[in-house]
Structure 1
């Protein structure tokens, strides 16, 4: 999963190619974010108010996260990588991930939730602002993602997908008495911490490449 549609471009204007198939997929992902938030909130903490809605929200989250590969593939295969796509694709990712983190923090679904969420938000909002700053500079263009940011997105997507799934409801159905759900959430938390470390590191790489030597974004 990437934080951008690619490294090429179809034009200098930000709105050039706004209606390409890749960008339309990105817009659809943003709509899915809104639906995911509504369903998750209505389902309540860990889906205990409405288990069915939580399962539906989990499926939508996974679909929205997975389709990031789709718009990137469409953009590259059709040679329709645009400045708008490189900007909106990471924004769609950040909206999805950050909204999930905020909702889970409100519900208190993992330890140190607000600390972790705030650290993620500071980095994500800061980098998004920096992207606009870069675009406003003379000759500035959106910088494509480098491997730390891409890897961060992978770990973050997997971790939050695991939290979104209400596996606690399967504890008495699949291998009851073993307590496997505890280890499931331990693994999810560990992956979230790895994602946080990569998030902060890649943010530092972005700042270095933006204000220091030229290079690629994280």
Structure 2
């Protein structure tokens, strides 16, 4: 291989690695960064509110609203990126990271406050979520660093998982139990929380399934295509 072709190859690899920062300050990415800031504020308020909001019910309501806002803006930055042709590698990387910080933080606090009904089972659920989420995020970095590697955007099972996860956690965070304070628990509240946990468990199944799909698309599918 000539020195000229080697230099071109090195230059191409350098450009590929630098491309992650292209468009870092695009408006959709700024929305993503603002979501990360909201995550920090949400977690502080959620922790201050205490388990189920027992220490400060007002802070729990505010934390729940902030969570819903942060989760909803996920669609805004994605829509902006597609509509105005501002899809960037940075956006494809940071968007799922923002989702994971939001939902992962909410899950850890809920487990610490024993809001899953059983402390041990709650931490098992959270551990399964986090192992998949952190593992896939770390893999994204490794895939990105490979020669010719690109950030792999979330597939539909992962996006569906995020929807169920955000809906379930939003329902868990909203302290509707307080509406029946001092009364016999109404049937609708019981049904509400049963539905809440069911949605979270569906999200867990989708979480594990989408992780398997990502692993397949990253490693198995390319090898089969080469045959």
* TM-score, length basis structure 2: 0.86
Q: Which has the larger radius of gyration?
A: 2
For residue 214 of structure 1, give the secondary structure of its aligned residue in structure 2.
helix
How much has 1:211 moved relative to structure 2? 1.1
Q: Does 1:89 align with 2:95?
A: yes
- Aligned partners of 1:162 and 1:144: how far apart in 2? 27
| Paired residue total | 204
Greater per-residue helix proportion: 2
Q: Which residue of 1 aligns with 2:217?
A: 209
Q: Does 1:41 align with 2:50?
A: no
Q: 1:203 to 1:177 in 2, by over 3 A?
A: closer
Q: Which residue of 1 aligns with 2:157?
A: 148
Deviation beyond 2 Å, 4+ runs, structure 1: 175-179
Q: For 1:1-218, list aligned pairs within 5 A.
A: 12=16, 13-111=19-117, 112-172=121-181, 178-214=186-222
- Aligned partners of 1:213 and 1:133: how far apart in 2? 17
Question: Can you give the 5+ residue segments of structure 2 that lack an aligned partner in the other structure?
Answer: 1-14
How much has 1:52 moved relative to structure 2? 0.3
How much has 1:179 moved relative to structure 2? 2.7
Q: Please say if residues 171 and 179 of structure 1, whose CA atoms lie closer than 8 Å, have aligned partners that are also in contact.
A: no
Question: Can you give the 5+ residue segments of structure 1 that lack an aligned partner in the other structure?
Answer: 1-10
How much has 1:171 moved relative to structure 2? 2.0
Larger mean Cα displacement after TM superposition, 109-118 or 53-62: 109-118
- Aligned partners of 1:123 and 1:186: how far apart in 2? 25
For residues 66-124 of structure 1, give each alpha carbon's deviation from its aligned partner in whole angstroms, at most 9, with x where no partner exists: 00000001101110000000000000000000000000000000132100000000000
* TM-score, length basis structure 1: 0.90
How much has 1:172 moved relative to structure 2? 4.9
- Aligned partners of 2:134 and 2:186: how far apart in 1? 41
- Aligned partners of 2:41 and 2:186: how far apart in 1? 35
- Aligned partners of 2:92 and 2:173: how far apart in 1? 27
How much has 1:176 moved relative to structure 2? 6.8
- Aligned partners of 1:183 and 1:109: how far apart in 2? 16
RMSD: 1.7
Higher RCO (CA < 8 A, seq sep 6+): 1
How much has 1:146 moved relative to structure 2? 1.3
How much has 1:34 moved relative to structure 2? 0.2
How much has 1:133 moved relative to structure 2? 0.8
